[in-house]
Chain A
Amino acid sequence: MLTICKRLFAVLFFIVAGFSAFASEEHAGASHGEKKEFDASEVIFGHIGDNHDWHFFDWNGHPFSVPLPVIVYHPQKGLSVFSSARFHHGHESYEGYALDEKNKIVSEDGVAIKDFSITKNVASMLISVILLLLIMTSVAKKYKKNGAMKAPSGFQNALEPVIVFVRDEVAKPNLGHKYMRYMPLLLTVFFFIWINNLLGLLPGGANFTGNIAVTAALSLISFIVIIFSGNKHFWGHLFNPPGVPFGIKLLLVPIEIISLFIKPVALMIRLFANMLAGHIIILSVISMIFIFGAISSYAGWGFVPVSLAFAIFMFFLELLVAAIQAFIFTNLTAVFIGQAIEEAHHHDHEHEEYHAKHPVTGQGYNVSEQEIIA
Chain B
Amino acid sequence: MDLLIPDLGLFFWTLLAFLVVLFILRKFAWGPIVKALQERESGIADSIAAAEKVKAEMKEMQSQNESLLIQAREERTQMLKEAKETKDRIINEAKEQAKTEANKILEDTRLQIERQKMAAMTEVKNEIGNLAVEVAEKILRKQLAGQEAQQGFVQMLADEIKLN
Give chain A's interface residues, CB within 8 Å of chain B: 48-50, 71, 102, 114-119, 121-122, 125-126, 129, 132-133, 136-137, 139-140, 143-144, 147-149, 160, 163-164, 167, 180, 183-185, 187-188, 192, 211-214, 216-218, 220-221, 276
User: Do the beta carbons of B22 and A188 come within 8 Å of each other?
Assistant: yes
Shortest distance from the beta carbon of B11 to any chain A beta carbon, whole Å? 4
Known A126-B17, A148-B36: A211·B10 in contact at CB below 8 Å: yes
Bound Cα distance from A87 to B156, whole angstroms: 210
Interface contact B39-A148, CB-CB below 8 Å:
yes
Is the contact region of chain B dominated by helix, strand, or loop, or is it mixed? Answer: helix
Choose among A115, A136, A163 the residue that contacts B8 (Cβ–Cβ < 8 A). A115
Given the interface pairs A49-B2, A143-B36, A167-B37, the reply to whether A187 lies near B14 with Cβ below 8 Å is no
Asked, given contacts A49-B2, A149-B40, A218-B18, whether A118 binds B25 with beta carbons under 8 Å apart, the answer is no
A71 to chain B, nearest CB (A): 8
Let me know if B8 and A221 touch, CB within 8 A.
no
Residue pair A188, B39 in contact (C-beta under 8 Å): no
Q: Which stretch of B26-34, B97-105, B141-149 is in the interface?
A: B26-34
Q: Which B residues lie within 8 Å of A217 (CB)?
A: 11-12, 14-15, 18
Cβ distance A97 to chain B, nearest Cβ, rounded Å: 14
Closest to B7 in A: A213
5 A-B interface contacts by CB (under 8 A): A50-B10, A129-B20, A180-B34, A184-B31, A216-B6
A213 touches B6 (CB 8 A): yes
Contacts of B36 in A (CB 8 A): 143-144, 147-148
Give A132's nearest chain B residue, CB to CB.
Answer: B21
Inter-chain contacts of A102 with B (CB < 8 A) = 2
List residues of chain B with CB under 8 Å of any chain A CB: 2-15, 17-22, 24-26, 28-37, 39-40, 43
CA distance A196 to B163 in the complex (A): 184
Flag if B13 contacts A125 (CB, 8 Å).
yes
CB-based contact B25/A136 at 8 Å: yes
Q: Which 8 A-B pairs have the closest CB atoms?
A: A148-B39, A184-B26, A136-B29, A213-B6, A217-B14, A143-B36, A213-B10, A213-B11
Q: Using Cβ atoms and an 8 Å threshold, which residues of chain B touch A50?
A: 7, 10
| Chain A nearest Cβ from B68, distance in angstroms | 38
Given contacts A114-B8, A137-B24, 7 further A-B contacts (CB under 8 A): A126-B17, A140-B31, A143-B33, A149-B39, A167-B34, A188-B25, A212-B5
Q: In the complex, what distance in Å separates the CA atom of A164 from the CA atom of B32?
A: 14
Picked from A49, A126, A133, A187, the residue with its CB within 8 Å of the CB of B3 is A49
Chain A residues closer than 8 Å to B43, beta-carbon distance: 148-149
Q: Which residues of A contact B7 (CB under 8 A)?
A: 50, 115, 119, 211, 213
Q: Which residues of A contact B20 (CB under 8 A)?
A: 129
Residue on B nearest A156 in the bound complex, by CB: B33
* A180 partner residues in chain B, CB cutoff 8 A: 34
